[in-house]
């Protein structure tokens, strides 16, 4: 039994668990924010791209200007398709992600059946996956989190099933990994991790010669690249590089910088500092979910590695620990992000189910070891069973209780995030729509909700959708120099991010939005400035907005 | 992974060694780590466990890992009595091994307690049970319904209960690993002695 269907009763329980916790999050959202929304501004970036796509403006942020500003184009396309059916992104994004969350739980079940051949423990893994707070947050965040998670799991499961196939089925995992790369560019490494696993398994089983493997690997890589060619071409045509512009905008060093600048200091940071930082952040994320599962994860890892090197074992699952430990380290090497690590963790949310799989394998193994030790050394088989059953139940109850408490705590954080974005970016976006000319140009540092709701042309000071801003961003006085060149009508920024810009006499503050409790925004205060360039153009409409100036907090 | 009960082609002698090593080596390593990293109570439990293991091994007539070794039951029934008898003779020599093992554990515990440079109390004071269950979150919710007057007392008792549960868990874990690891070590040497004796008789 290396494959098994999850029966309808179990599926219903998983759906129920996910709906229950989603309802808790939505209740908190309604209670704290007063309205539904998204807990990060980035979700609105997807919405803006998707709306433009659905309206026939192509992959553009400012309608009609193509740009590769979405790191998850597949999710953007899915949102655009959903918009044609139901023009409400908050509803469609959440429904699609919750459905993907359910499917991910089913895949965890299948993967655990493959590894453990124990349906009860496999179901336990599915339940834990349904209760991981990072995934519940992701499924309601409006972002690509659950799509990336689902595709990573699907590709890995297909790889486990068909890696020994010689026919076309062996390429299914590569196709899914290509799709996963369109949901998160970091997932491009998955196909190479899978090939490394195939290589090791091939060596251990003495199945194919090195040359045969080399040929097979080349076909996989070729197929993978062919599938991604349109993606690379679009990126190159719009931002002059093979990866989305956001990739360059958010990268803070690593292999790309090392290769382009040949910096010795960057060499050490690339291979020693960043991977360690990313790996420890992943482990910290796992520890935060549950201490017991965290330690069991190492037991599970050891078990899978040891079993993978045993001749008699057929269900080798070395790819699971490989993905869990190599993925973040490689991510740190290639493109360490300039953001705060806690937010980067959402880019690695697809590792959460792997943590659950390793934890459940560890639990299975630990219980087996304790049972064997008790039975053989101390109390005999029957007494060992009598001890193990309540112990197993107690551990499961404790983990479920702990995950539920974490869900409750995280639901408050999620709700605060929605409240922050609704009270700041969404509010400013709506205000700009009502109080600025239709052809006004806004220079912003948070491009999501402000653009979506204002429906104005924007210049991104952070460079995500305005690559021209990138050379100016990091140099002293560069941002204002860029503004002087672009001459926007309004500048909307966190003054704490751009203190020198905020003090310029060319900018007149016309609206302050202050958050009492800031959980997710870059600053507590966001200010809308009217620029002298707008005055020069004689934008009379905006002049009347002096009345809206709110006092400094 | 599948709990593999392998029909091994190894000799019974090798299987005994292999299983004792498979279970004994990790548990002995964990015992040493607990002795080094644990709290004073855990260290005490580790030492008690090793002494207890010696007592149990010296007194009980058992042949561990007969089933795990994959040998079939009739074989076990016929041989176990004879083997147990032989192993009993080997138990006399395990006293020295037990003494050395307890000394090693004492050294590891003492090293951590007495030498500040290597003093590590990594496992102690980690709020283990609360970290696993996150009960403090539930308590903080319940706390709002407790009167102001009783709140500090309730908090104090809550922390105390958590500490007690932590200590019970950690002591149980230390005892379990110490008894099991030590017993495996002793049995390993008993089997080794038996095999040496058999070889001497054969030659």
For residue range A382-421, what is the model confidence (pLDDT) as tens digits? Answer: 888 999 999 999 999 999 999 999 999 999 999 999 999 9
* Domains detected in chain A: 8-377 (no CATH), 417-546 (3.40.190)
> Is the CB of residue A131 less than 8 Å away from at least one CB of chain B?
no
> Is the CB of residue A508 less than 8 Å away from at least one CB of chain B?
no
Tell me if A116 and B183 make a contact (CB, 8 A cut-off): no
Q: What is the pLDDT of residues B26-37, one digit of tens each?
A: 889 999 988 888
Question: Given a cut of 70, is residue B70 above it in pLDDT?
Answer: no
Tell me if B137 and A292 make a contact (CB, 8 A cut-off): no
Segments in chain A below pLDDT 50 = 539-553
Q: What is the pLDDT of residues A91-104, one digit of tens each?
A: 999 999 999 999 99
Q: What is the pLDDT of residue A340?
A: 58
Largest interatomic CA distance in chain B: 83
Question: Given a cut of 60, is residue B7 above it in pLDDT?
Answer: no
Nearest Cα to Cα of residue A25 among A422, A416, A411, A413: A411
Distance (Å, rounded) from C-alpha B62 to C-alpha A378? Answer: 9
Q: Of how many residues is chain B composed?
A: 203
Question: Given a cut of 60, is residue B95 above it in pLDDT?
Answer: yes
Contacts of A117 in chain B (CB under 8 A): 2
Which DSSP letter does residue A424 get? Answer: I
Nearest Cα to Cα of residue A138 among A82, A176, A96: A96
Nearest Cα to Cα of residue A192 among A169, A165, A173, A210: A173
- Mean pLDDT over each residue of chain B, to the nearest integer: 77
Nearest Cα to Cα of residue A151 among A128, A122, A172: A172
Q: Which residue of B has its CA nearest to A317?
A: B1
Tell me if B1 and A401 make a contact (CB, 8 A cut-off): no
Q: What is the pLDDT of residue B110?
A: 82
A477: left (phi over 0), alpha (psi -120 to 50) or beta: left
Contacts of B132 in chain A (CB under 8 A): 290-292, 398-399, 402
Strand runs labelled E in A476-517: 490-493, 507-514
Is the Cα dihedral A45, A47, A48, A50 positive or negative? positive
Distance (Å, rounded) from C-alpha B181 to C-alpha B168? Answer: 20
Q: Is-contact B123 B34, C-beta < 8 A?
A: yes
Distance (Å, rounded) from C-alpha A406 to C-alpha A404? Answer: 5
Q: What is the pLDDT of residue A541?
A: 45
Q: Which residue of A has its CA nearest to B184?
A: A377
Question: Given a cut of 70, is residue B120 above it in pLDDT?
Answer: no
Q: Which residue of B has its CA nearest to A296?
A: B132
> Is the CB of residue A297 less than 8 Å away from at least one CB of chain B?
no
Q: What is the pLDDT of residue B1?
A: 45
**How many CB pairs below 8 A link A and B?**
64
> A108 vs chain B: nearest CA distance in angstroms?
15
Closest Cβ opposite residue A292 in set B6, B23, B132: B132
Burial string for A62-101 (b: 16+ CB within 10 Å, else e) reads beeebbbbbbbbbbbbbbbebbeeeeebbebbbebbbebb
Tell me if A398 and B132 make a contact (CB, 8 A cut-off): yes
Confidence band of B78 (pLDDT split at 50, 70, 90) = low
Query: What own/partner pairs with CB < 8 Å and gap ≥ 24 does A228-235 have?
Result: A228/A178, A228/A181, A228/A182, A228/A188, A231/A73, A231/A181, A231/A182, A234/A59, A234/A66, A234/A68, A235/A68
Q: Is-contact A246 A464, C-beta < 8 A?
A: yes
Question: Given a cut of 60, is residue B101 above it in pLDDT?
Answer: yes
Contacts of B137 in chain A (CB under 8 A): 405, 408-409
Closest Cβ opposite residue B1 in set A116, A376, A402: A116
Closest Cβ opposite residue A402 in set B64, B67, B133: B133
Which DSSP letter does residue A529 get? Answer: E
> A164 vs chain B: nearest CA distance in angstroms?
19
Distance (Å, rounded) from C-alpha A323 to C-alpha A326? Answer: 5
Contacts of B64 in chain A (CB under 8 A): 376-377
């Amino acid at each position: 039994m290396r494959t098994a269907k999850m029966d309808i009763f179990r599926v219903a329980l998983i759906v129920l668990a996910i709906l229950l916790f989603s309802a808790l999050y939505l209740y908190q959202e309604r209670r704290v924010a007063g309205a539904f929304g998204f807990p990060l501004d980035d979700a609105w970036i997807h919405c803006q791209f998707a709306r433009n796509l659905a309206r026939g403006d192509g992959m553009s942020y400012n309608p009609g200007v193509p740009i590769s500003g979405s790191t998850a184009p597949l999710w953007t396309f899915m949102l655009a398709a959903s918009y044609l059916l139901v023009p409400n992104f908050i509803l469609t994004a959440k429904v699609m992600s919750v459905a993907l969350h359910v499917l991910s739980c089913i895949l965890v079940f299948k993967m655990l059946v493959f590894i453990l051949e124990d349906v009860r423990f496999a179901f336990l893994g599915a339940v834990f996956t349904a209760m991981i707070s990072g995934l519940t947050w992701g499924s309601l965040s409006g972002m690509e989190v659950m799509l990336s998670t689902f595709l990573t799991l699907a590709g890995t499961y297909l790889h486990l099933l068909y890696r020994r196939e010689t026919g076309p089925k062996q390429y299914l995992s590569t196709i899914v990994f290509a799709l996963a790369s369109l949901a998160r560019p970091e997932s491009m490494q998955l196909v190479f991790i899978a090939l490394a696993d195939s290589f090791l398994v091939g060596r251990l089983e003495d199945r194919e010669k090195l040359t045969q493997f080399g040929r097979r690997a080349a076909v996989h890589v070729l197929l993978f690249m062919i599938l991604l060619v349109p993606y690379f071409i679009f990126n190159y045509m719009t931002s002059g590089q093979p990866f989305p512009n956001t990739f360059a905008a958010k990268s803070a060093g690593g292999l790309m910088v090392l290769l382009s600048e040949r910096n010795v200091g960057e060499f050490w940071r690339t291979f020693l500092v960043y991977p360690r930082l990313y790996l420890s952040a992943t482990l910290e994320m796992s520890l935060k979910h549950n201490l017991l599962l965290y330690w069991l994860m190492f037991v599970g890892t050891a078990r899978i590695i040891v079993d993978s090197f045993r001749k008699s074992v057929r269900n080798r699952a070395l790819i699971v620990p490989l993905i869990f430990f190599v993925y973040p380290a490689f991510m740190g090497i290639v493109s360490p992000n300039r953001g705060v690590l806690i937010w980067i963790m959402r880019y690695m949310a697809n590792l959460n189910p792997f943590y659950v799989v390793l934890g459940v394998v560890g639990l299975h193994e630990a219980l087996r070891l304790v049972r064997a030790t008790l039975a053989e050394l101390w109390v005999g088989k029957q007494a060992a069973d009598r001890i193990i059953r309540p112990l197993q139940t107690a551990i499961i109850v404790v983990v479920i209780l702990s995950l539920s408490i974490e869900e409750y705590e995280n639901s408050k954080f999620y709700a605060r995030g929605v409240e922050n974005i609704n009270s700041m970016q969404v509010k400013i976006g709506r205000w700009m729509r009502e109080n600025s000319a239709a052809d006004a140009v806004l220079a912003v540092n948070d491009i999501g909700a402000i653009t979506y709701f204002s429906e104005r042309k924007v210049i991104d000071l952070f460079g995500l959708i305005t690559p021209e801003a990138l050379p100016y961003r990091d140099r002293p006085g560069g941002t204002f120099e860029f503004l002087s060149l672009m001459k926007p009508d309004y500048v909307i920024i966190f003054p704490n991010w751009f203190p020198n810009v905020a003090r310029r006499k060319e900018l007149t503050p016309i609206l302050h939005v202050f958050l009492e409790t800031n959980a997710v925004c870059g600053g507590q205060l966001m200010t809308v400035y009217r620029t002298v360039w707008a005055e020069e153009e004689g934008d009379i409409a905006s002049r009347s907005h002096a009345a809206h100036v709110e006092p400094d907090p | 992974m599948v709990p593999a009960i392998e029909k091994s082609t190894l000799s019974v002698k090798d299987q005994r060694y292999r299983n004792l090593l498979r279970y004994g080596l990790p548990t002995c390593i964990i015992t040493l780590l607990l002795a080094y990293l644990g709290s004073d109570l855990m260290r005490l439990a580790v030492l008690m466990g090793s002494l207890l293991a010696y007592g149990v091994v010296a007194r009980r007539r058992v042949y561990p890992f007969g089933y795990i070794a994959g040998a079939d039951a009739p074989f076990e029934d016929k041989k176990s009595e004879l083997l147990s008898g032989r192993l009993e003779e080997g138990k006399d020599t395990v006293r020295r091994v037990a003494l050395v093992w307890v000394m090693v554990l004492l050294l590891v515990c003492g090293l951590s307690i007495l030498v500040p440079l290597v003093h590590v109390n990594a496992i102690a004071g980690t709020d283990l049970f609360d970290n696993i269950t996150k009960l403090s979150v539930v308590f903080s919710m319940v706390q709002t319904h407790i009167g102001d007057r009783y709140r500090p007392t309730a908090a104090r008792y809550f922390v105390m209960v958590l500490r007690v549960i932590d200590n019970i868990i950690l002591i149980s874990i230390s005892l379990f690993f110490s008894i099991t690891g030590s017993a495996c070590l002793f049995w390993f040497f008993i089997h080794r002695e038996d095999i040496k004796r058999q070889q001497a008789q054969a030659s």
